């Protein structure tokens, strides 16, 4: 059950930082872990709100940020649109193909490209930490 491990990452971070476990935090975390990929703060807020209307937007936002800090989640921003969050733990690094028409995200990974990137950085005497590759175009439905 990977979500148990995922939870451990989060609670480990909480403990490490001297933060506290709260009912809201647990609810928001569970909702995030059982949600679909690429969720926005608003999306998650709306899901949480159904069963827990007392939980505020700011709390959802704060906890998504905290999940990113813990390494559990990752924030994705494309252009000006709102930030989306995806589960990072147990989820290999990948890049995105983004449809210019329907906005679909397709996740891809290519070991060769990754290696070439490192090589490229090295040539410029640059120490790479992370990267972001987005390929925009049209998916098979929108061609």
Partner DNA sequence: GTAATAATGATATGCATTATCATTAATATG
Partner DNA sequence: CATATTAATGATAATGCATATCATTATTAC
Residues making contact with DNA (CB under 7 A):
14, 18-25, 40-42, 54-59, 61-63, 65, 77, 80-83
Tokens 């990948």, residue located: 94
The arrangement of strands across the sheet holding 73-76 comes to: 39-40, 84-87, 73-76
Q: What's the min distance (Å) between Cβ of 34 and DNA? A: 18
Q: What's the min distance (Å) between Cβ of 19 and DNA? A: 3
Beta strand 105-108 with 84-87 is: unpaired
Residue 94's binding partner among its own copies, DNA, none (Cβ under 5 to 8 angstroms by kind) is: none
Q: Which of 130, 115, 38 is nearest to 77 (CA)?
A: 38
Q: What's the min distance (Å) between Cβ of 104 and its own copies? A: 10
């Amino acid at each position: 059950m990977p979500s148990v491990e995922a939870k451990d990452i989060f609670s480990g971070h909480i403990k490490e930082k001297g933060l506290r476990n709260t009912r809201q935090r647990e609810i928001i975390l569970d909702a995030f872990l059982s949600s679909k990929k690429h969720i926005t703060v608003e999306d998650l807020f709306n899901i949480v709100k159904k069963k827990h209307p007392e939980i505020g937007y700011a709390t959802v936002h704060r906890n998504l940020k905290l999940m990113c800090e813990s390494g559990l989640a990752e924030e994705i921003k494309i252009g000006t649109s709102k930030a989306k969050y995806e589960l990072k733990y147990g989820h290999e690094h990948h890049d995105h193909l983004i449809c210019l028409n329907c906005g679909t995200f397709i996740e891809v990974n290519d070991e060769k490209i990754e290696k070439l990137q490192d090589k490229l950085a090295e040539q410029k005497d640059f120490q790479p930490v992370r990267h972001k590759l987005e390929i925009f175009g049209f998916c098979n439905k929108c061609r």
